[in-house]
A and B are shown apart, each in its own frame.
Chain A
Amino acid sequence: MGLMLWLVPLVAVLLSILIKETKALHVMNVVCSFALVVIAGFATKSVMVSGILQYNLFGMLFYLDALSAIILDIVVIIGFLVSIYSIGYLNEELRRGEVNTKRIQLFYTLMYSFLFTMVLSLTVNNIGILWIAIEGTTLASTFLVGYHNNKHSLEAAWKYVIICSVGIAIALVGIIFLHLSSVTVIDSSHALRWDILYDHAKELNGQIVRLSFLFIIIGFGTKAGLVPMHTWLPDAHSQAPSPISALLSGVLLNSALYAVIRVLSIVNKNLGDSQFTGNILVGFGLLSITTAAIFILTQKDYKRLLAYSSIEHMGIIALSIGLFTPLSIFAGLFHMINHSFTKAMLFLASGNILQKYETRKISGIRGLLKVLPISGFAFLLGLFAISGTPPFSIFASEVSVFLSVFAEGHLVLGSLFILLLALVFVGIAVTLFRIFYGEEDSEERKPGETNPAGAAVLIVFLIIISITGLFMPDAMKELITSAQRIIGG
Chain B
Amino acid sequence: MDSYYDILSVLILLSSIILVSHKRIKSYIKTFRIQSALIALTAGIMGWNSLMEEGRFDVLVVCGIIVLLKVIYIPRLLHKTYGSVEYKVEKDFFLNIPLLILICCGLVVFVYFCVSNISGLNEDHINLQVVNSFSVILIGLFFMISRKWALGQMIGFLVIENGIFVTAMFSTHGMPFIVDIGIFIDMITAILIMGIMVMQINKQFDSININKLKNLKG
Interface on A for B, CB 8 Å cutoff?
126, 128-129, 131-132, 135-136, 138-139, 142-143, 146, 149-152, 154-159, 161-162, 165-166, 169, 172-173, 176-177, 179-181, 183, 188, 191-192, 205-208, 211, 234-235, 238-239, 295, 298-300, 304
Contacts and interface: CB of A to CB of B under 8 A. Distances in A.
A162 B214 CA distance: 15
Given A128-B178, A154-B204, A158-B210, A139 B189 contact: yes
Q: Which 5 A-B pairs have the closest CB atoms?
A: A128-B179, A132-B182, A207-B120, A208-B120, A155-B213
A151 B210 CA distance: 12
Interface string B98-142: 000000000000000000001111000000000000000100010
B114 to A, nearest CB: 9
A165 B190 contact: yes
B159 to A, nearest CB: 11
B6 interface: no
Nearest to A136: B186
B176 interface: yes
Contact of A152 (B150, B167, B190, B215): B215
Interface of B: 118-121, 137, 141, 144, 150, 153, 157, 160-161, 164, 167-168, 171-172, 175-176, 178-179, 182-183, 185-186, 189-190, 193-194, 197, 200-201, 204-205, 210, 213-216, 218
Contact of B144 (A126, A132, A166, A179): A166
B216 A152 contact: yes
Given A157-B197, A207-B120, A208-B120, A132 B216 contact: no
A129 B178 contact: yes
A291 B136 CA distance: 32
A169 B204 contact: no
Contacts of A149: 200, 204
A150 B204 contact: yes
A131 B183 CA distance: 9
Contacts of A150: 204
B105 to A, nearest CB: 21
Contact of A132 (B160, B164, B179, B200): B179
B190 A135 contact: yes
B50 to A, nearest CB: 11
A191 B176 CA distance: 7
Contacts of A183: 172
Contacts of B197: 142, 146, 154, 157-158, 161
Highest count of chain A CB atoms <10 Å: which of B120, B182, B216: B216
A151 B205 contact: yes
B139 to A, nearest CB: 13
Contact of B157 (A151, A166, A208): A166
Contacts of A207: 118-120
Given A152-B216, A176-B168, A208 B144 contact: no
B181 to A, nearest CB: 9
19 contacts: A128-B176, A129-B182, A131-B182, A131-B183, A142-B193, A142-B197, A146-B200, A155-B216, A158-B213, A162-B144, A165-B157, A166-B144, A169-B161, A176-B172, A176-B175, A191-B175, A191-B176, A211-B118, A234-B216
B121 A169 contact: no
Given A161-B193, A169-B161, A173-B137, A208 B213 contact: no
Given A132-B185, A207-B118, A161 B194 contact: yes
Nearest to B181: A132
Contacts of A156: 216
B182 A128 contact: yes
Contact of B164 (A172, A192, A304): A172
B137 A159 contact: no
Contacts of A211: 118, 120
B164 A208 contact: no
B150 A158 contact: yes
Given A151-B204, A159-B213, A139 B175 contact: no
Given A132-B183, A135-B186, A146-B200, A295 B193 contact: no
A165 B193 CA distance: 12
B200 A161 contact: no
A128 B215 CA distance: 36
A142 B186 CA distance: 13
A192 B160 contact: no
Contacts of B216: 152, 155-156, 159, 234-235, 238-239
